[in-house]
Each structure stands twice: as structure tokens, then as C-alpha cells.
Structure 1
Amino acid sequence: MIKLTRLDGEAFVLNAELIRYVERRPDTFITLTTGDKIVVSESMDDVVERAVDYQQKKHFMPMPQRQTP
């Protein structure tokens, strides 16, 4: 999940797994795998950096330990 900001200043959290592509025209448009489009105030580079950082952290998270009876 990545934290972003709508153009009206409202913060929200987006599931980065749903990002299909990001465009700059001049606002930053995020197209999701569902076909929905979201416009955010962050730059295209910032969105990509956050999405990549999310993916990297996701793979480094340790697995929860199972408790044995």
C-alpha cells in the first residue's frame, strides 16, 4: 500500500498491486488494472518510487512464525 494525495489535498492509500501504468499529462494519472483512473498531486517519478519501494519491502518482510502446539 502506498500513501498518495488527491488534487484536492485529500490523502488516501492505494494498493500498489493494482497499478497498471502511470502517466504525466501534466497532472499525474494512475491507471489501475480495473480500468479506473486516479489523478494525484505527486509526480510520476514519486509514484513510481513509492510503488517500487513497496514491492521491495514486501519481499523483505519476514514470514510470521508458526506456533507449535
Structure 2
Amino acid sequence: MITLTRLNGETFQLNALYIEQIQSCPDATITTTTGKKLVVREEEQLIVARMKRFYQDIGFTGQWKGAGDQE
């Protein structure tokens, strides 16, 4: 789980495995695998860093590839 902040200042936990897409325009909008959209205060790069840390914590690091990464 990663901690995120809604625009009203309320924090919540989101399972990073359910994040399908992150878009910045200008606020970061997360689209989940169920199609739900969440607008948060954190910048896209910070969300990605938290996702990577979460994947490392659960032993999923070898499975994660960022957009544009090449082998």
C-alpha cells in the first residue's frame, strides 16, 4: 500500500498493484484497474517512487518495468 493525499488534504492508502495509469494535467490523476480515477496532490514522479518502493517491499522488483524501459 502507498499513502496518497486527496486535494482536500485527506490521506488514504492505495494498493499500488491496482494502479494502471498516472497522468499529470496539472494535478496527478491515477486510474485504477477498475477504471476509478483519483486526483492526488503528489507529483507523478513521487507516486512512481512510492510504487517502486512498494514493489521492492513485497519482492516484486524483478517484475516491474517503467514505461520506456528497455532490456
TM range (shorter): 0.7 to 0.9
Once residues 22 and 49 of structure 2 are traced to their aligned partners in structure 1, the CA distance between those partners, rounded to angstroms, is 11
Deviation per CA, 1:16-56: give whole Å up to 9, x if none.
01000101000000000000000000000000100111001
- Report the count of equivalent residues: 60
Of structures 1 and 2, the larger Rg is shown by: 1
Query: Which structure 1 segments of 5+ residues have no match?
Result: 61-69
Query: Which structure 2 segments of 5+ residues have no match?
Result: 61-71
1:54 alignment partner, SS class: helix
In structure 2, the partner of 1:53 is 53
In structure 1, the partner of 2:6 is 6
In structure 1, the partner of 2:34 is 34
RMSD: 1.1
Identity of aligned residues (%): 47
- TM (norm. structure 2) is 0.82
